[in-house]
Structure 1
Amino acid sequence: MAAPPRTRSPVTAPGPGGSIKGTGSDAVALTFDDGPDPKSTNDLLDLLKEQGVKATFCVVGSRVKTHPEVVRRIAAEGHTLCNHSWQHLQDLSERDNGYLMWDLQSTNDAIRAAVPGARIDYFRAPYGNFTPRLVEFAARFTMKPIYWDVDDECWKSSTYGVGPAMTNHMTTIVQRDTRPGSIILSHENLKPHTVATYRSLLPWLKSHFRLVALP
């Protein structure tokens, strides 16, 4: 049986650049970045539906344009959509004003081309590289900047592979570090091990926390 989560105080401190690091309540939010992926995102959606859990998907505009049908499914099944930039540039915050306006607008346009009238209330900077300037640009589009306080490190495949060692690593981090108000960072694009991990981790999370999509 998994150990209970370590006793920790609710999330209150802001993230980089004044971004949002917690849900603002006792609820925990699962967030999945870098999709849509026609295989892994759909597999994850199947799992979330089976478990009755809603999540937040931080989607990349260029991938939305290629796989709009996956974004339509995300929205149709009641999950929250978040702008994660057009092509996930690490130095996005250093780009000029014109580029930033184009990037955020193009991503929103791609999402709304797939889901007309979609609410896009959140923005996540690639790699979490928020600066006050990037937070201000998100505000121009009335998007709240979301960070995280738990990183499941699913991206460390060069160290842990994509099998049981990775699943154990991700599970250990999430069970150890999640607390009331946490925003958990994960990724599903080209990461089938994320689906495999959350297949066993979701029941544990549901038994310890109230899971929500960001409102």
Structure 2
Amino acid sequence: MATRGRPGPRRTLSEDEILDAALVLLDEGGPAAASIRGIAAKVGVAPNAVYTYFPDKGAVVRALVEKLLGEADAGEFADEGKPWRDRVEALAVELRRRLVAHPGAAALLMSGPMDGPRATALNERLLDLLIGAGVEPADAARATYLLIVYVLGAIALEVADETGPGPLPPEDDRVARRRAGFAQIPAEVFPRSAAAAPTMSRYITTDQYLWGLHRLLDGIDPT
């Protein structure tokens, strides 16, 4: 007579609880803090309970990326009654809002391929939106990649401007600190950079982000 194996760890959590704990740890201590052991301690279970849902930290990261992308794929971007440019801008603004609020997660987003179901669905929606606006399919694919590179690249540089854990300080505070730093540029050595310092100090602002996005959209617009 065959003996029954020992039961696995009881599933006392939800995936969302685990991902929420991982996000808190990322906010508090950066990518290194969101280990399986750290997540388990955060939610008050043994590490085996987390392994019931995710085989390793990489799987947690992929699921967290999927969660953040899925949450951004909503609102005005999903409103088919809105003009295509407004929808793309809404997505770009929402992604920036969510990722700047969680710099640790933003860093992880850049560390691996975005090839999960929600990332693929987001790509599909962008392609459909651009093709529906009259962009040729091949150009729509290139434009989708260009938009993702711009959005994630701008967010990555904005997040990298801060080295401490937790949410970024208010935008005005960060601009003021950058302005003080750029004021030290020796004008006799770097005259153009010194003259551009007021503008350079605002590279991490919403205005700059939208300035670049609008120019990309101007180039993509088939009309």
TM-score, with length taken from structure 2:
0.28
Larger relative strand fraction:
1
Report which of the two has the higher share of helix. 2
- Ranked by relative contact order (alpha carbons within 8 Å, sequence separation 6 or more), the top structure is 1
Give TM-score scaled by structure 1 length: 0.28
